[in-house]
Chains A and B, each alone.
Chain A
Amino acid sequence: MTSPLAGGVDCDLHPAVPHLTSLLPYLNDYWRDQVTTRGMTDLVSQSYPTNSPISSRPDWRPAQGKPGSSLDDMKAQALDRFGVSTGICNPLYGVQMVFSEDMADAFCRALNDWLVKEWLDKEPRLRGSIVIPVQSVEKSVAEIERCAKDPRFVQVLMLVMGDMPLGKRAYWPIYAAAERLGLPIGIHAGSNYHNPPTSVGWGSYHIEDYVAQAQAFQTQLTSLIVEGVFARHPALKMVMLESGWSWLPSYLWRLHKFWRGVRMETPWVDRSPQEIVRSNIRFSLQPIDAPPDPAILNRLFDHMQSDELLLFSTDYPHWQFEGDQVLPEGISPDLVRKIMVDNPHATYPRLKQPVAKETTP
């Protein structure tokens, strides 16, 4: 087994909102009454159904309640167990699903404040991602600016499947704000279900949604690259979270091949797609969609021509690996250090910032 290195950064942890009522203290009077009088109880997305195997490793599944809803469990099962110095919380709660941008904004603000009070204030190793009401770019920018005052927010979080391709220029004020404030954009698997979760329509089974996440990531990467996001924002990093990455060489071959023939359609793409991915895009480690054979995996790393692309993640509490086998077999100690320490620190500049001790006992 490849042992984790102490002091790493876990870039993909999922604290769960137990219930919509958990957010009530963080809503204003109007929205608190709306939630209560409308009888809203929870925001359940199809992405990670509570009882689905992917949603929680069996040994991480609590006796009651949602997987990932207990800070003590997260400490014992992830932070302590893998000896990390820092864990980045990416809350996946269905706040992006609602069609009212005003309600989505209220829920996002509540979710971000909940994360601060219920998790970041209670556990000094934790950092957070800012969840934004993507339907309104203006409100998203305002929420980024509000939360960014707290240096423990280290990233902006978006879902891989939203209303439009993420490269579309309407979204660019979000990217400008993120770049200006030293926040990478994290793009996590999942959908707001405003569009079918596959590019060919609605499937019948959960497995279709989950497998299709990888194609959604590819489509978004293409959009971000060809629309010129990284020509306008060369310092902006984007992190693909729970995307898988073993598809990268064949995907990049295809993108590069066609870019060479139709370069003149998008002349602002003045570097090859591979170069853009190497400089601006990062991937969380889990899940690893490859055989457990070191030779095959190392060949894959050779194809990617970079040891800076991967960031350590457990994807806690999602079920991606067994026991302590969070790192693939047969990778060098040097690569372990890169994945667990160097790459996350190079990606998230805010991890270097000192954080005032606000921890509540």
Chain B
Amino acid sequence: MVRHVIAPVDELPPGTRKFLTIDERPIAIFNIEGEFFGLLNRCPHQGAALCEGPLIGLAQSSDPGEIEYTRQGEILRCPWHGWEFDIRTGQSYCDPKKFRTRAYPVNVEPGTNVVKGPYVAETLAVSVESDYVVLDL
């Protein structure tokens, strides 16, 4: 596992996402209300840029006509065919056993840790004063 420094926390405020390529893999980092998530930006169905899709909540029902709508903003819909993916796990909702996209752990680390290593920060100058978004690949 290699830990990649993505950006200073200030550059990824809540409601934003950042797209980047790490080791030739297209990856997107999301900040959802202060929590960070990383997903492979490729739909397992037909390869669309999954992470460019809209974020919605999770609609569930225990009785027809009754809808429980929870986890707002945590379900990603593929821009091509509308399939839903859980941003926490990468699993699809239409066929969870067969279709999932890769989810990567993303954490916030203080600059003092990041400076020490063993982190990869390709084009990023790291300083001890900031906190950084770090993705494990």
Contact = CB atoms under 8 A, between A and B. Distances in A.
A169 B66 CA distance: 13
Contact of A261 (B56, B64, B65, B83): B83
A38 interface: no
Interface stretch (A126-134, A155-163, A224-232): A224-232
A264 interface: yes
A229 B62 CA distance: 13
Given A263-B93, A264-B59, A272-B95, A232 B64 contact: yes
A125 B39 CA distance: 63
Given A268-B61, A270-B61, A263 B67 contact: no
Nearest to A167: B64
A261 B82 contact: yes
Nearest to B82: A261
Interface of B: 56, 59-67, 81-84, 93-95
Contacts, number: 45
A267 B60 contact: yes
Given A260-B94, A263-B94, A272-B95, A232 B83 contact: no
A231 B64 contact: yes
Interface residues of A, number: 16
B83 A231 contact: no
Nearest to B93: A263
Contacts of A231: 61, 63-64
Q: Which 4 A-B pairs have the closest CB atoms?
A: A228-B64, A261-B82, A260-B94, A268-B61
A259 interface: yes
Contact of B81 (A260, A267, A268): A260
B67 A267 contact: yes
B63 A232 contact: yes
A265 to B, nearest CB: 8
Contacts of B59: 263-264, 267
Nearest to B57: A264
Nearest to B45: A260
A228 B94 contact: no
Contact of A263 (B63, B64, B65, B84): B84
A207 interface: no
Contacts of A264: 56, 59, 84
B133 to A, nearest CB: 29
Nearest to A261: B82
A169 B61 contact: no
Contacts of A259: 94
A260 B59 CA distance: 13
A228 B64 CA distance: 5
A194 B10 CA distance: 65
A272 B95 CA distance: 8
Interface string A168-193: 01000000000000000000000000
Nearest to B99: A260
